[in-house]
Structure 1
Amino acid sequence: MSEPNLPARQLGRMLRRMRERLGMNQGEAGAPLRFSISKMSRIELGFLPSYHEFRALLDRYCVIVSEWDEYIALYDRGKEKGWWFHYGVGNRGFLPIEAEASRVREFQYGYIPGLLQTEAYMREVFASHRRSPKGKRLENQVAVRLRRQWRLTKEPLLEYNAIIDEYALRRPILDSDARREQLARLIECAELPNVRLQIVPESVGAYDGQFGNLILAGFEDPEEPDVAYVEHVLGSVHIEKEVDVSAAKMAFQDFADRALDEDDSIAFIKRL
């Protein structure tokens, strides 16, 4: 099942606050509507009910009809599909989170991050997958990744902090000309005011980042909690528990402390 988008999660929290203001628990609120506690819980997490069930909830929470418009507008936004659905990509993985985030911090050990890749680089990466996409599916994957990069230069701008291990820069994925183009792309992106790029040099030695990649997303809505995202060989994991996200933030800060500063990182790439 697709994960709820940001407007849906916001609406779920809004419905929870309405219920709590009336002093009702989930069972009491849902009983007259024949909603189970599990259904009420899912609704408040952003898994929206049908339109008529939603209207019944507004009535249950004593919202007068003349004030329904703003809630219905948020409900409609919660039901919208992201632009990536046109490319055959559903609401799984990090893409829907990234699309809603206002800031992303990413550490990559083995590859250049997708937001900073040239088209030649991403095609080589896709070709290396165990189940590499072919034909139209490959072209859709490339188109989606290129469109994701719009967030670095088009409103709403993404505040982006990338930390890359030196190994990813030296990994022989491309021929010399394409590799030079990819390194130049990194320097170009690092000069954007909303992008911070750091390199962890080989001289640092062993550190926890060598166990895998890490992404952290934050949102404009102060009530929307930060999310950590970890990819592994069998798939990926969304981490939302506050204690685990805090641990992920500490790990990212450790990588940043080990990395070169921005100016030295750019100078390092230019030397390569």
Structure 2
Amino acid sequence: MIRRRVLARQLKLLREQSGLTLEQAAPKLDFSVSKLSRIENAQVLIDVHWVKSMLDVYDVGGARWTELVDLAREANQPGWWRAYGLGNNSYIAFETEASRVHELSVTYVPGLLQTADYARALMRPVPLRRTAEQMEGEVAARMYRQQRLTSTENPLEFVTVIDESALHRLVGGPDVRRGQLGHIAALAELDAVTLHVLPISVGAHAAPPSGFLILSFGDLGEPDMAYVEHTLGALSLDKDGDVARARLTFERVLSDALDPAESLALVRRLARS
């Protein structure tokens, strides 16, 4: 998803640099104007042959030609999550390309910190038709995502604020909760993870009930994105104003949260209780 956006943005820039409008470029490519617009807005899979034709029309060659053709091939590769039986999943696609994720989690422990038992316990009440095999595939994919927290080749920086109430919730029962808290404590010691807990004693706070995430994409040059999951689906937002509001909300909640050392101490106390 993100690589398709990067490719689309580059193709649009090359068209503009060549001095062609959408209306001028489309017939040279045997495209309709609407088709070329959808390509440039990353609304469709971008065929490698289309990219080659566009680069020829825009008079792009050499290393740049090879770079963009390779990017087109990468953008069309099926995501790693397909091996776990999952269909197209926009959030996993975004997170896979992200270099840093900030997550505000109000109700449950974030997926990047969950144990397999906790994840299963969360999935069981959800009114989706899943076979046991499909559930295990989703759980395995969630565990696979966590590998980036210890990866040296493709690391992911994770900063999270978790409402303390989520740590008290008996998801899966006392043993699952205890194992989950121990898992959080272990991951919180990783350099890639920064844990903050929003204590119950704060009372009213700025966090919305759904929580949200902010993803940053590092060297890919894509703008930061806010992502919100809710009962009826999910919403991704990349307009500057929306992301700025999400970032301001995160910072306000962070100012009320415990620091990492205090947060880790609290998690350890709860794990022993």
TM-score (norm 1): 0.93
**Which range is displaced more, 227-236 or 127-136?**
127-136
Map of 2:150 onto structure 1: 153
Counterpart position of 1:63: 60
Tell me the equivalent position of 2:172.
Answer: 174
CA RMSD of aligned residues (A): 1.7
Alpha-carbon separation, structure 2, partners of 1:138 and 1:222: 32
Partner of 1:11: 7
Provide the rounded CA distance (Å) in 2 between the counterparts of 1:151 and 1:265: 22
Once the two structures are superposed, residues 109-141 of structure 1 have per-residue CA deviations (whole angstroms, 9 ceiling, x without a partner) of: 110011101111111001121226331111111
C-alpha contact 1:12 1:48 (8 A) present in aligned 2: no
What are the ranges of 5 or more consecutive residues in structure 1 without an aligned counterpart?
none
Point out the more displaced range, 168-177 or 141-150.
Answer: 168-177
SS of the aligned residue for 2:24 comes to: helix
Q: Percent identity of the aligned residues?
A: 40
- Partner residue, 2:47: 50
Matching of residue 142 in structure 1 with residue 139 in structure 2: yes
Alpha-carbon distance in 1 for matches of 2:36, 2:268? 55
Q: Which runs of 5+ in 2 are unaligned?
A: none
Shift of 1:92: 2.7
Alpha-carbon separation, structure 2, partners of 1:132 and 1:209: 31
Alignment of 1:1-272 (within 5 A): 5-46=1-42, 47-64=44-61, 68-131=65-128, 133-154=130-151, 155-221=153-219, 223-272=221-270
Deviation at 1:173, TM superposition (A): 1.3
Residue 210 of structure 1: CA displacement? 4.6
Query: Number of paired residues?
Result: 268
1:142 shift after superposition: 0.9
**For residues 174-225 of structure 1, what are the alpha-carbon distances to aligned partners after superposition, in whole Å with 9 as ceiling and x for unaligned?**
3323222111111111100011000000011012315221111000136301
CA pair 13-255 structure 1, distance change in 2 beyond 3 A: same
Asked if structure 2 preserves the Cα contact closer than 8 Å seen for 1:127 and 1:133, the reply is: no
CA distance in 1, matches of 2:91, 2:128: 19
Confirm or deny: 8 A CA contact 2:198 2:256 kept in the other structure: yes
Moved over 4 A (4+): none
Check conservation: 2:163, 2:198, Cα contact below 8 A: yes
